[in-house]
């Protein structure tokens, strides 16, 4: 415990002065920016209003995810899940302001972006045209912050019910800094090499879903199975929570995808429509698969399908038509169903809440489907995919996917191993039996006696 | 004195209670419990993974009676709970050594009714 606190404090002590010192120069920068503002389009009130709302919508997805996951774990571990989601919300919000945003979006060709926006120095209220020409730069920063928050939160489903809270905190802060920030920079940042290669990722298929999904896969393998899973599966303790979480995710996803147009415009509406269509199609498809293979359609299956559909449409939302989104939705449920119901039991890794099976598999399908279905008729600023006569785009999507998978797996593994050596990642067997709520937080979610 | 424990289907509780009242048996304790006998549980499926024969919800009644009420109580429970299907439940009858009414400290047969 002491060692953990020392590491955490050192980390922030190192980061804090950098942020504060750099932030001092802000007023000076502001005047320079005002002069440059004449060349830059002015803030558009409609775009700004929509993006403020979209940012709030994406924020809601992390608590939504907490309930989505929380309902699926045993009742002795539900607070542990909620606590991890809220911890990430708090931790990454601060990390993003101090240095995360600069590392991710600071212009530069390196591993990370530049360091010039540490502590949001120079990230003002005028637009930064290279990212979003009609909304304040700080709003773009806040919108991206919510993506940086939900991505590590997705991972927790894989190591649910058995990771030490202190190890989780370290993993989150290191993963956000050394995995999310660089990958985000490569795909979305100015000078990022995958961006310059022409990879299309409208709202985070590679950066968010594949990235988190493969890290989840790695942790599930190395932390080992939950106790007792050899003899029986651990049943969801509160499926209505999970369905409530699904609804919040779906709702928030309108901000995630339609907000990623960075304006109140036609592309936003296209993203909104295809997002809803893909989620609906995938939800129906999963229920149908359940009906065919297990005799009854299930609520958890339909919710899982809907989330898989949302994942798959994420990279494609700004580039594909509604009909394409139906195909994306049908196939994502088929692929994810196969991964969750057949591949996982066959190989025996305990990806507790199917982060790999839904987010990584769905994310890869989405990234590749973007290379198949993207159409300039939908978005002239995008590209045509394989089915619209441009096989090269499919190849680029394949490269971006492979790079994300490889980098995220290796980097996450190193982070995981370092933490395991320093403080041990997994809770003691006795703590696992008693549950994380009591052993990690000295609280419980439900009482039996008054 | 006997202690009668009955495991019945949840949906039969109301009719069992009515039959017991008719026989003037008014003091019962009810628990919600899980279990299965010959009637196995219903299979559950979570994301394509099947869980066989889980425990089902049942109701457990506890009724303490004097000797002359034992048969009446058993008949009443059967009348209220019997459907002829597997899973109707069981009745256990145990000897009861002592009974104390906490309010008055009365003991034995007078304390039961």
DSSP per-residue codes, chain B: -EEEEEEE-GGGHHHHHHHHHHTT----EEEEEEE-SSS----EEETTEEE-S--EEEEEEEEEE-HHHHHHHHHHHHHHH--SSTT-EEEEEEE----B-TTT--BTHHHH-
Cβ of B50 and A294 within 8 Å? Answer: yes
The tally of CA atoms less than 13 A away on the side-chain side of residue A335 is 23
Residue in the block written with tokens 């774990």: A73
**Contact in structure between A352 and A317 (CB atoms under 8 Å):** no
With CA atoms as reference, the chain B residue closest to A289 would be B48
Could you tell me the two tokens for A38? 């004449």
- Tell which wins on pLDDT, B71 or A230: B71
Q: At what angle do helices A239-258 and A266-294 cross, to 10 degrees?
A: 150
Domain B2-112 has CATH 2.60.40.1260: no
Residue A8 lies in a domain: no
Distance CA A420, CA A413 (A): 10
Residue A1 lies in a domain: no
Reported ipTM: 0.75
Could you tell me the two tokens for B31? 């628990």
Cβ of A298 and B46 within 8 Å? Answer: yes
Chain A residues whose CB is inside 8 A of the B44 CB are: 235
Per the structure, how many domains does chain A have? 1
Cβ of A341 and B47 within 8 Å? Answer: yes
Chain B residues whose CB is inside 8 A of the A232 CB are: 51
Q: Is A223 on the interface with B (CB under 8 A)?
A: no
The partner residue sitting opposite B48, judged by closest CB among A232, A236, A337, is A337
**Contact in structure between A331 and A362 (CB atoms under 8 Å):** no
Domain interval for residue A287 = 39-440
Distance CA A418, CA A424 (A): 9
Distance CA A414, CA B5 (A): 59
Cβ of B49 and A342 within 8 Å? Answer: no
Give CB contacts under 8 A, 24+ apart, made by A14-22.
A15/A95, A15/A98, A15/A99, A16/A98, A18/A98, A18/A99, A18/A115, A18/A118, A18/A119, A19/A97, A19/A98, A19/A99, A19/A118, A19/A119, A19/A120, A20/A119, A21/A119, A22/A115, A22/A116, A22/A118, A22/A119, A22/A121
Residues in A 311-370 with any Cβ partner in B closer than 8 A: 337, 340-342, 345, 354
The tally of CA atoms less than 13 A away on the side-chain side of residue B89 is 28
Signed CA dihedral, A401, A404, A406, A412: sign only: negative
CATH at residue A197: 1.10.3430.10
Residue A449 lies in a domain: no
Count CB neighbours of A137 within 10 A.
24
- Work out the average pLDDT over B29-57: 83
Cβ of A300 and B47 within 8 Å? Answer: yes
pLDDT, averaged across chain B: 92
With CA atoms as reference, the chain B residue closest to A302 would be B47
Residue A29 lies in a domain: no
Residues in A 276-305 with any Cβ partner in B closer than 8 A: 289-290, 293-294, 296, 298, 300-301, 304
The residues facing A132 across adjacent strands are A128
The tens place of each residue's pLDDT in chain A, 450 residues long, gives 566 666 566 666 566 555 444 444 433 333 334 444 455 568 999 999 999 999 999 999 999 999 999 999 999 999 999 999 999 999 999 999 999 999 999 999 989 998 999 999 999 999 999 999 999 999 999 999 999 999 999 999 999 999 999 999 999 999 999 999 999 999 999 999 999 999 999 999 999 999 999 999 999 999 999 998 887 788 899 999 999 999 999 999 999 999 999 999 999 999 999 999 999 999 999 999 999 999 999 999 999 999 999 999 999 999 999 999 999 999 999 999 999 999 999 999 999 999 999 999 999 999 999 999 999 999 998 999 999 999 999 999 999 999 999 999 999 999 999 999 999 999 999 999 999 999 999 999 998 887
Determine phi and psi for B46, rounding to 5 degrees: -120, 115
Cβ of A354 and B49 within 8 Å? Answer: no
Count CB neighbours of B18 within 10 A.
12
**Contact in structure between A293 and A282 (CB atoms under 8 Å):** no
Cβ of B46 and A340 within 8 Å? Answer: no
**Contact in structure between A193 and A318 (CB atoms under 8 Å):** no
The partner residue sitting opposite B51, judged by closest CB among A235, A337, A340, is A235
Cβ of B46 and A300 within 8 Å? Answer: yes
**Contact in structure between A438 and A427 (CB atoms under 8 Å):** no
Could you tell me the two tokens for A331? 């196939």
The residues facing B2 across adjacent strands are B65, B95
């Amino acid at each position: 415990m002491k060692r953990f606190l020392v590491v955490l404090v050192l980390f922030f002590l190192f980061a804090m002065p950098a942020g504060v010192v750099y932030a001092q120069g802000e007023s000076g920068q502001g005047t320079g920016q005002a002069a440059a503002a004449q060349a830059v389009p002015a803030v558009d009130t409609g775009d700004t209003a929509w993006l403020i709302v979209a940012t709030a919508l994406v924020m809601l997805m992390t608590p939504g995810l907490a309930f989505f996951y929380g309902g699926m774990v045993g009742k002795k571990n539900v607070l542990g899940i909620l606590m991890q989601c809220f911890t990430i919300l708090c931790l990454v919000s601060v990390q993003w302001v101090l240095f995360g945003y600069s590392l991710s979006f600071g212009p530069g060709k390196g591993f990370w972006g530049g360091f010039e926006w540490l502590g949001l120095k120079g990230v003002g209220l005028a637009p930064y045209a290279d990212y979003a020409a009609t909304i304040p730069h700080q709003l773009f920063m806040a919108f991206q912050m919510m993506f940086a928050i939900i991505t590590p939160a997705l991972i927790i489903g894989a190591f649910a019910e058995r990771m030490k809270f202190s190890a989780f905190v370290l993993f989150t802060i290191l993963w956000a800094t050394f995995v999310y920030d660089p990958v985000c920079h490569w795909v979305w940042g100015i000078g990022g090499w995958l961006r310059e290669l022409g990879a299309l990722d409208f709202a985070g298929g590679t950066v968010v879903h594949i990235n988190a999904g493969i890290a989840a896969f790695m942790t599930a393998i190395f932390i080992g199975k939950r106790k007792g899973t050899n003899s029986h599966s651990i049943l969801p303790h509160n499926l209505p929570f999970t369905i409530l979480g699904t609804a919040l995710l779906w709702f928030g996803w309108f901000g995630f995808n339609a907000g990623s147009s960075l304006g109140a415009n036609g592309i936003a509406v296209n993203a909104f429509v295809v997002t809803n269509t893909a989620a609906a199609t995938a939800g129906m498809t999963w229920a149908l698969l359940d009906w065919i293979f297990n005799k009854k359609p299930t609520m958890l299956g339909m919710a899982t399908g809907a989330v898989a559909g949302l994942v798959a449409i994420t990279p494609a939302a700004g580039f594909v038509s509604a009909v394409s989104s139906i195909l994306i939705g049908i196939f994502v449920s088929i692929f994810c169903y196969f991964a969750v119901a057949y591949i996982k039991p066959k190989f025996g890794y305990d990806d507790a809440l199917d982060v790999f099976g839904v987010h990584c598999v769905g994310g890869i399908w989405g990234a590749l489907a973007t290379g198949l279905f993207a159409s300039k008729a939908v978005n002239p600023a995008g590209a045509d995919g394989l089915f619209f006569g441009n096989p090269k785009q499919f190849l680029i999507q394949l490269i971006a996917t492979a790079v994300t998978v490889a980098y995220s797996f290796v980097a996450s593994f190193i982070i995981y191993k370092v933490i395991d050596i320093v403080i041990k990642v997994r809770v003691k067997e006795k703590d696992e039996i008693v549950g994380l709520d009591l052993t990690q937080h000295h609280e419980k979610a439900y009482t039996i006696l008054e | 004195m006997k202690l009668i424990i009955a495991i019945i289907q949840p949906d039969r509780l109301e009719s069992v209670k009515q039959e017991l009242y008719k026989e003037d048996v008014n003091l019962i304790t009810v628990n919600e419990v899980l279990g299965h006998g010959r009637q196995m549980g219903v299979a559950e499926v979570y994301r394509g993974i099947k869980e066989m024969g889980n425990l089902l919800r049942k109701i457990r009644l506890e009724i303490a009676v004097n000797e002359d009420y034992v048969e009446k109580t058993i008949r009443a429970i059967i009348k209220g709970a019997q459907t002829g299907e597997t899973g109707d439940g069981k009745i256990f009858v145990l000897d009861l050594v002592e009974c104390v009414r906490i309010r008055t400290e009365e003991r034995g047969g007078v304390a039961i009714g």
